[in-house]
Amino acid sequence: MSTATLISPEEYLATRYEWEPEYVHGELVERPMPNLIHSEAAYVVDMKFADRGLTHGRDVRCKLDIGVFRLPDVAAWTKRPTTTPVEEVPLVVVEILSPDDRYADLLDKLREYQNWGVPHIWVVDPMHKLLHVFSGRSLTEVDALAIPERNLSLTAADIFPEPQP
């Protein structure tokens, strides 16, 4: 959902937000508030990146293009970014779906990541315990999210372990 008021990138970057929105060509784009399962999935993915020696973070402000700032749920880089906001293209971005996410908005964001040059774009659906990769301008359901060159593979069972009694 976007606000109607246009602001400059400088104003966006200088403003403190309680829950930071994304910024797309002058509009503030509200992000859904994550729920517990969303947060747990983000943590598991983030820690898996740490295990593989990647620089990683959640909700890191990234400058994709002039006038476009996104905050991937999780992102990882092979080298530590040196810019703030981050301008270096990550190895992987992960969007974790929330109940309030809109499909059209998600696809727009995934296309922006692809145009930015992100080689691995993943979507995690906690409500249905499904995993998808985005490539060639479409989402494909997969059994595992993988980066073979980093010996990294995540299945739904890795991300959503069964609760212990």
- Domain ranges (residues) in the chain: 33-159
Alpha helices, DSSP H, located in 75-150: 103-116
Q: In what order do the strands lie in the sheet with 55-57?
A: 55-57, 74-77, 92-96, 120-125, 130-135, 138-142
Residue 100 has pLDDT above 90, yes or no: no
Q: State the pTM of this model.
A: 0.92
CA distances for 129 relative to 9, 16, 63, 165, angstroms: 36, 34, 30, 20
In this predicted structure, what is the pLDDT of residue 13?
Answer: 93
CATH topology of domain 33-159: tt1808, chain A (3.90.1570)
Collapsing DSSP to helix, strand or coil, 42 comes out as helix
Name the pLDDT band for 145 (thresholds 50, 70, 90).
Answer: very high
**For the segment 32-84, what is each residue's pLDDT rounded down to a tens digit?**
888 899 999 999 999 999 999 999 999 999 999 989 999 999 999 999 999 99
pLDDT at 154 over 90: yes
Positive or negative, the CA dihedral 111, 20, 65, 6 is positive
